[in-house]
Structure 1
Amino acid sequence: MAGEEPIISGMAGRYASALFDLAQSSGAVDAVGADLARFEALVAESADLARLVRSPVFSSEEQTKAIIAVLERAGIGGLAANFLKLAAQNRRLFAVHDMIRAYKGLVARARGETSAEVVVAQPLSDSHLATLKDALRSATGKDVALDVKVDPGLIGGLTVKIGSRMIDASLKTKLQSIKIAMKEVG
């Protein structure tokens, strides 16, 4: 289908596909997803961990040692821990965010869901999230998993990206359109 996301490819896609196959065969898809989400949250919270993950300066041994310590401290084990250790050993930690995103995409596809990236100016209440999910479900005909990010720079409104389609209903974009229109008139 034209609106679907492309088949996951590249290095991150290969790692994610292998992890998904292992998780599916061992019945641990949700557990692996939860552990990966917890790891992503740790990276987002710690500048030092983010630097370790992204920097090519650290050797494979240094990254692996540090990742093992972080995983033990966070209580992340099983397939997700082995996956993250393997990524560190193979010097692929820099791509772990893309691998996790690809894994989430594979899980969603297997469940007949689609995912939407939503950027809002302020955090949404539970009722607003439910309303947005319902609207997207009726528009796509599928259950929609939301990946919500907050960007105060939008001023108001939101942007929604599903596959290759993007809806920009942000106040920032509307103001820029007015500004351009005023320049053309003047």
Structure 2
Amino acid sequence: MAENPSVSGVSGRYATALFELARDERSIDSVKADLDKFEAMLADSADLKRLVRSPVFSSEAQAKALSAVLDKAGISGISANFLKVLTANRRLFAVDQVIRAFGALVAKFKGEAIAEVTVAEQLSDKNLDALKVALKSVTGKDVSLNVNVDPSIIGGLVVKLGSRMVDSSLRTKLNSIKHAMKEAG
């Protein structure tokens, strides 16, 4: 795993262990779906973020609250057990890095590429599909998208695919114009 820098450190070790278990149990897709669901819940809930990230909660309190969240979301089996292990080991704060690393392992296993995409506002499914098609034509592989919303880029998008990066954000264009004006002045 050392050749894949996105799968290193503590989060990489947890992700690798989960990936190997899911592969052995032939449940990679269901575990990925569960983790994607949990990641979406995390993005949508300030309370869940606080539960996951705050060191003030004991592992018992985190475990009890997490169990209720997982039951309500219908997340069970390997995925639920894994999230409970993270909690028991006081590593729940790193869950988003673990989920990303797991996604990278799944993509590599399936021969897919992962693109980190930063946009000013959430893209529609139609635009996401168009972006996937465009990236597939460039890479020749199916492309999974990790989309981050960052209003500070104003408009456009930034796409990072492996070591290649395309920055068509309005912020970058404005900065280059500002720089050119300083040079000319």
**TM > 0.5:** yes
In structure 2, C-alpha distance between the alignment counterparts of 1:92 and 1:29, rounded to whole Å: 22
Corresponding residue SS for 1:175: helix
Q: 1:130 to 1:66 in 2, by over 3 A?
A: closer
In structure 2, C-alpha distance between the alignment counterparts of 1:56 and 1:25, rounded to whole Å: 33
Shift in Å, 1:5: 4.1
Give the structure 2 partner of residue 52 of structure 1: 51
> Is the 1:53–1:94 Cα contact (8 Å) retained in structure 2?
yes
Shift in Å, 1:127: 4.4
Corresponding residue SS for 1:119: strand
Shift in Å, 1:150: 3.1
How is 1:43-122 mapped onto 2 (pairs within 5 angstroms)? 43-122=42-121
Matched residue count: 183
One-letter identity of the residue aligned with 2:168:
A
**What's the TM-score once normalised by structure 1's chain length?**
0.90
> Is the 1:5–1:163 Cα contact (8 Å) retained in structure 2?
no
**What's the TM-score once normalised by structure 2's chain length?**
0.91
Q: 1:106 to 1:95 in 2, by over 3 A?
A: same
Give the structure 2 partner of residue 19 of structure 1: 18
In structure 1, C-alpha distance between the alignment counterparts of 2:129 and 2:95, rounded to whole Å: 30
Q: 1:53 to 1:164 in 2, by over 3 A?
A: same
> Is the 2:11–2:98 Cα contact (8 Å) retained in structure 1?
yes
CA RMSD of aligned residues (A): 1.7
> Structure 1 unaligned runs (5+)?
none
Moved over 4 A (4+): none
